[in-house]
A and B are shown apart, each in its own frame.
Chain A
Amino acid sequence: MATVELKGLGKTYTSGGSPEGVRAVRDATFSIRHGEFVVLVGPSGCGKSTLLRMIAGLEPITQGELLIDGAVVNEMPARQRDIAMVFQNYALYPHLTVRQNMAFGLERRRTHGSRLAALLSGEYRGKREDESTAIAQRVAKAAETLGLVAHLDRYPRELSGGQRQRVAVGRSIVRDPKVFLFDEPLSNLDAKLRHEMRSELRQLHRTLGATMIYVTHDQEEAMGLGDRIVVLRDGLIQQIGAPSEIYERPANRFVAGFVGTPSINLIQGRLHRGEGTAGVERFAADPLSIDLPKGRFGAAQPGPIVLGVRPDRLRIGSAAASSTWKSEATVVAVERLGDRSDVALRVGQHSLLARVAPEQAPTEGATVTVGADTSDMLLFAADDAGVRLG
């Protein structure tokens, strides 16, 4: 277990064609506590893998400092950092069995490694054998945890994707490293297996209590796994926070749109102050007009603005009766997903998506009442940064 601290960490590739290079990661600053599970998430090319590889020591750091357990490790080679990494393509050694794959890192850490010395000295041989037993025990324990006992003598090519993934995880846990890194480890698995492995990883984290850093482009995976989530875009950290915080209070429009399935409804409009009834501001996006309680969006200035509301906070039909904001809408399409239904709605030129219980799903083409509480609404600046205003 260890703490990891990033202080203004950055990566510039000089061979990017432009004279000043390409900045893959800029000014990443945050710290990870003992035993925390942190997920780096963002669309492809956002620099999350680069950041992870810098922590691993596989990518030289060009700006800032990286500290593990309080010590700066910028210049320390990967093999000395005592970090384990699970790769996207598993990276199992094809010429070694599962058992040998898992023991590989431990073999390196033997203090009595020499077979020759073991031949020459009885005492040395004894110590070497003790070490071998210890390695075998650790491999056996990890194999048991991961359900790999029956496959220990097989080669990676004889295993299924999920089993290979387990071996890759097993190879990390036998080493008992300071920090675990995961680079999109589940992206090669099918949806069902991915879900299973996700809960297994979560459980593993609880059992080991180890510091884990996990990279994924799948926000659902990030929400499901992380104690904290770091959302990245174009090499810049957009927000760091617990999954619920990221979901409920996204820092900007990008985070709001990236996190949550289906994606948040965003409506371009204008904010008018003092035109509504007493104590309210009015958001207007013809034909929509929403009265917002004054004060809740203190930072918002009159003018162009973007309003966001999550699909699961929209209600339709009778359920919308008690909502603080209501409007008439046309049902464009209904997607029945079993436990829930996604309803595509149209209000004027605005498209909205509502996620409702299956029994509430209206028929396509019908006109229904759609509503939401203003307390569930978010306002974002209309500029490129799109900062949340309240």
Chain B
Amino acid sequence: MSARRSLVRTALAAAAAHGLLVGGMLVMLLPLVWMLCVSLLTSERAQSATVSGDYLKLLPTDPQFANYREALAQMSSVRWEGFRNALANSVVVTTLCVVATSLSSSLVGFAFARLRFRGRGTLFIIMLATMMLPAQVTLIPLFLLFRGLGWIDTLLPLIVPAFFGNAFFIFMYRQFIAQIPESLIEAAAMDGYGWLGIWWHIALPLCRPVTAICAVFTFVFVWNDFLGPLVFLHSDDQATLAVALNSFRNQYGGVNNVHLLMAASLVTMLPCILLFLAAQRQFIEGLGKGAVKG
């Protein structure tokens, strides 16, 4: 009898947990579904669905896939050129930032975890303290610095800082690398490897979960970054997707173009969603490891 009761209780608890999760998921998904629906409507239906609140018209009975082509083509005065440039810029900046951040952060994290040098503790605290600085605070000094270097209106201000690591990821790598058994490091040293070799051949491959997190976070952050490109880039042909989307909104932001705006926004978001789906497992593993070992 009591076994049956506990079974019922377990089932109820599971149902409640699932209900909560499904509810949360719906709340999260709703804006995305709304975007997707609106992006497939005709201009008139989109207007009545969004402006007059006629939600019944939200479902695209006759999906307008051409909206996507239209939206991307219209991103700049010359058809397609704006989108092509922005996509290329975003891909270059994001790829380089992901690779550079992972490499530099793991290298610095490795050094903090394994190398014994004078002032290591102090340096680590200073490094951590930089996490407390909001990006906006350093924006003007950075702008002046990059202007002095003649880098304004080039992609360099967006890429080069990534080669100097990111405090949060350095911290994560350090914690993770500190858990690697000392004997593995020593074995590699006996096998003839120096610090760089040990980092590259031992620490980095073992840090895969952290690297997955670092890569996904950096990708999403850099891909969606708006403030940086807006401040450091001026010309249209240097714009990244986020900035291009913003100028698109300025240009076509009216109610009669809302379906195009949603289409362009969705395309911009797509890589992040795909990456998240692809790296999901690594990602969760990494977060879990960070939680337990960190």
The finding on whether chains A and B are genuine partners in a shared complex, rather than unrelated, reads yes
Residues of A within 8 A of B (CB): 56-58, 77-80, 83-85, 87-89, 91, 93-95, 104-105, 108-109, 171, 175
Residues of B within 8 A of A (CB): 181, 183-184, 186-194, 197, 201-202, 205-206, 208
Selected from B183, B191, B194, the residue in CB contact (under 8 A) with A89 is: B183
A109 contacts across to B, CB distance below 8 A: 192
A85 touches B190 (CB 8 A): yes
A105 touches B192 (CB 8 A): yes
B205 touches A91 (CB 8 A): no
A79 contacts across to B, CB distance below 8 A: 189-194
A56 touches B206 (CB 8 A): no
Q: Report the separation of the CA atoms of residues A171 and B184 in the bound assembly, to the nearest whole angstrom.
A: 13
B192 touches A91 (CB 8 A): no
Central interface residue in B183, B187, B189, by most chain A CB within 10 Å: B187
Selected from B191, B193, B197, B201, the residue in CB contact (under 8 A) with A175 is: B191
Selected from B181, B194, B206, the residue in CB contact (under 8 A) with A91 is: B181
A58 contacts across to B, CB distance below 8 A: 186, 189-190
Selected from A57, A77, A87, A95, the residue in CB contact (under 8 A) with B187 is: A87
Q: How far is the CB of B196 from chain A (nearest CB, A)?
A: 11
> In the complex where A93-B202, A95-B205, A95-B206 touch, is A108 in contact with B191 (Cβ < 8 A)?
yes
19 CB-based A-B contacts, threshold 8 Å: A58-B186, A77-B189, A78-B186, A79-B194, A83-B190, A84-B190, A85-B190, A87-B183, A87-B186, A89-B183, A91-B183, A94-B206, A95-B208, A104-B188, A105-B190, A105-B191, A105-B192, A109-B192, A171-B191
Q: How far is the CB of A214 from chain B (nearest CB, A)?
A: 16
Q: Report the separation of the CA atoms of residues A171 and B190 in the bound assembly, to the nearest whole angstrom.
A: 11
State the 10 A-B residue pairs at the shortest beta-carbon distance, nearest first: A105-B191, A91-B183, A91-B187, A108-B192, A95-B205, A87-B183, A78-B189, A79-B192, A85-B190, A58-B186
B206 contacts across to A, CB distance below 8 A: 94-95
Q: How far is the CB of B250 from chain A (nearest CB, A)?
A: 47
B192 contacts across to A, CB distance below 8 A: 79-80, 105, 108-109
B193 touches A85 (CB 8 A): no
A85 touches B197 (CB 8 A): no
Central interface residue in B184, B188, B192, by most chain A CB within 10 Å: B192
B181 touches A89 (CB 8 A): yes
Central interface residue in B181, B186, B194, by most chain A CB within 10 Å: B186
A85 touches B187 (CB 8 A): yes
A171 contacts across to B, CB distance below 8 A: 187, 191
B190 touches A56 (CB 8 A): yes
Central interface residue in A57, A78, A84, A175, by most chain B CB within 10 Å: A78
B197 touches A108 (CB 8 A): yes
Q: Report the separation of the CA atoms of residues A77 and B191 in the bound assembly, to the nearest whole angstrom.
A: 12
B198's nearest neighbour on chain A, judged by CB, is A79
A78 touches B183 (CB 8 A): no
Q: How far is the CB of A173 from chain B (nearest CB, A)?
A: 13
A94 contacts across to B, CB distance below 8 A: 206
Q: Report the separation of the CA atoms of residues A243 and B185 in the bound assembly, to the nearest whole angstrom.
A: 34
A80's nearest neighbour on chain B, judged by CB, is B192
A80 contacts across to B, CB distance below 8 A: 192
Central interface residue in B184, B190, B197, by most chain A CB within 10 Å: B190
Q: Report the separation of the CA atoms of residues A98 and B183 in the bound assembly, to the nearest whole angstrom.
A: 17
Q: How far is the CB of B171 from chain A (nearest CB, A)?
A: 23
Q: Report the separation of the CA atoms of residues A87 and B201 in the bound assembly, to the nearest whole angstrom.
A: 19
B194's nearest neighbour on chain A, judged by CB, is A79
A77 contacts across to B, CB distance below 8 A: 189, 194
Q: Report the separation of the CA atoms of residues A40 and B257 in the bound assembly, to the nearest whole angstrom.
A: 82
Q: How far is the CB of B79 from chain A (nearest CB, A)?
A: 41
Q: How far is the CB of B211 from chain A (nearest CB, A)?
A: 12
12 further A-B contacts with Cβ under 8 Å, apart from A56-B190, A105-B191, are: A58-B190, A78-B189, A84-B190, A87-B183, A91-B186, A93-B188, A95-B205, A105-B190, A108-B191, A108-B192, A171-B191, A175-B191
Central interface residue in A80, A95, A171, by most chain B CB within 10 Å: A95
B191 touches A104 (CB 8 A): yes
Q: Report the separation of the CA atoms of residues A272 and B38 in the bound assembly, to the nearest whole angstrom.
A: 111
A83 contacts across to B, CB distance below 8 A: 190
Q: How far is the CB of A189 from chain B (nearest CB, A)?
A: 17
Q: How far is the CB of B149 from chain A (nearest CB, A)?
A: 31
Q: Report the separation of the CA atoms of residues A95 and B200 in the bound assembly, to the nearest whole angstrom.
A: 13
Q: How far is the CB of A200 from chain B (nearest CB, A)?
A: 21
A91 contacts across to B, CB distance below 8 A: 181, 183-184, 186-187
Q: Report the separation of the CA atoms of residues A88 and B183 in the bound assembly, to the nearest whole angstrom.
A: 9
B197 contacts across to A, CB distance below 8 A: 108
Q: How far is the CB of A156 from chain B (nearest CB, A)?
A: 11
Q: Report the separation of the CA atoms of residues A109 and B205 in the bound assembly, to the nearest whole angstrom.
A: 20
B205's nearest neighbour on chain A, judged by CB, is A95
Q: Report the separation of the CA atoms of residues A94 and B187 in the bound assembly, to the nearest whole angstrom.
A: 12
Q: How far is the CB of A211 from chain B (nearest CB, A)?
A: 15
Q: How far is the CB of A42 from chain B (nearest CB, A)?
A: 21
A108 touches B183 (CB 8 A): no
B187 contacts across to A, CB distance below 8 A: 85, 87, 91, 93, 171
Selected from B186, B193, B208, the residue in CB contact (under 8 A) with A108 is: B193
Q: Report the separation of the CA atoms of residues A142 and B145 in the bound assembly, to the nearest whole angstrom.
A: 58
A78 contacts across to B, CB distance below 8 A: 186, 189-190
A89's nearest neighbour on chain B, judged by CB, is B183
Q: Report the separation of the CA atoms of residues A231 and B189 in the bound assembly, to the nearest whole angstrom.
A: 28
B202 contacts across to A, CB distance below 8 A: 93
Q: Report the separation of the CA atoms of residues A88 and B205 in the bound assembly, to the nearest whole angstrom.
A: 23
Q: Report the separation of the CA atoms of residues A91 and B190 in the bound assembly, to the nearest whole angstrom.
A: 11
B194 contacts across to A, CB distance below 8 A: 77, 79
Q: Report the separation of the CA atoms of residues A105 and B208 in the bound assembly, to the nearest whole angstrom.
A: 22
Central interface residue in B184, B191, B206, by most chain A CB within 10 Å: B191
Q: Report the separation of the CA atoms of residues A84 and B190 in the bound assembly, to the nearest whole angstrom.
A: 6
B184 contacts across to A, CB distance below 8 A: 91, 93
Q: How far is the CB of A76 from chain B (nearest CB, A)?
A: 12
A109's nearest neighbour on chain B, judged by CB, is B192
